[in-house]
Amino acid sequence: MKSAAAVRPATLFPTPLPGNCASTVTWDVMLPQPEPKLVPGLLAMVAPERLRKFRRAAPAGAHRAALSMYLVDAELTSYFHALLRIVEVLLREAIHRAMRDAFGTPRWFAVPNVRALLDPRTVTALDDAQRGANPSVRGTPAAGSVVAGMMFGTWVNLLDTGARGNYEADLWRPVISGVFQADQPTAPHPRAQVHALAKRMNWARNRVNHCEPVIFGFPRKGQITAQGLRLRTTPHQLLDDARTLCGFISPETAAWLAGWHQFEDVLATQQVAEALRYIDRQPGIALQGRRRQ
């Protein structure tokens, strides 16, 4: 098992980038562990409530071990932030292009026949994005600005069944399904599978953006086992799920993500293993997914 100190300085993004774009930027991606004399001051800057779980998970509740775990969590969060940003942009652009091509305009979100297919929550989200978008020269919000302003959850909702249960027939099969078959052109993946993966990415994105810990895994909102246990996904599995979803859209992007070995190095640290063992001991939680390379 690796310690945090075993992770060496490296590139965050391995080369080559997709499309043979070169990357020559390197920096130390592991947050340095503090000297013992700095630990009390660093602990004092964090709210006690934020550190409570780390103290309980660290061996013997040691202050320095808790801070070390907290810093590894921060490092892990930075990787997930980068990963989920790529997932969101890839999924957003793929669905947007499919809708644009199917309905003949990049402003598909303003076409009455399209809006008639959508459920109220999606129509409301589209209207919010249009109001918040930058107006073009003619005063109409630019299509690209509206698309960029749509929340990740809105794109995920387009993969759901829809409030009237019509998305499978009206959107998925005729318009969107082709987006998710780049890895197997003759057979698109089931809508329910794609939606489940995308929804998991959205939950993870919200957790990362709200500075919630990720080292203890990702809660799966509202998902309960037959035994009444609350489901939680390991960070290792969340990475795998992101690679899988990206592979449905772009095998090249998935292959690039497979080369993020420094991400795997952080996942292999002792601090991550200790955090997951702590969750294993908690009643009412079922931790699922990969835990090692």
Sorting pLDDT into bands at 50, 70 and 90, what band is 38?
A: confident
What is the percentage of the chain residues whose pLDDT exceeds 70?
86
H or E element, residue 205: helix 191-209
The pTM of this model reads 0.86
Average pLDDT for 68-79: 93
DSSP assignment, residue 27? B
Residue 8 is predicted with a pLDDT of 39
Average pLDDT for 75-82: 96
Q: For residues 198 and 156, is the Cβ–Cβ distance under 8 A?
A: yes
Separation CA 114–CA 107 (nearest Å): 10
Per-residue pLDDT reduced to its tens digit, 120-136: 999 999 999 988 887 65
Picking from 194, 109, 105, 90, the residue whose alpha carbon sits closest to that of residue 147 is 109
Q: For residues 215 and 76, is the Cβ–Cβ distance under 8 A?
A: yes
Contacts of 117 by beta carbon, 8 Å cutoff, 6+ apart: 162, 166, 167, 170, 171
Residue 50 is predicted with a pLDDT of 80
In this predicted structure, the answer to whether residue 170 has a pLDDT above a threshold of 70 is yes
In this predicted structure, the answer to whether residue 25 has a pLDDT above a threshold of 50 is no
**Domain ranges in the chain?**
60-288
Average pLDDT for 171-178: 96
Per-residue pLDDT reduced to its tens digit, 144-159: 999 999 999 999 999 9
In this predicted structure, the answer to whether residue 27 has a pLDDT above a threshold of 90 is no
Picking from 88, 90, 120, 118, the residue whose alpha carbon sits closest to that of residue 103 is 118
Residue 225 is predicted with a pLDDT of 92
In this predicted structure, the answer to whether residue 16 has a pLDDT above a threshold of 80 is no
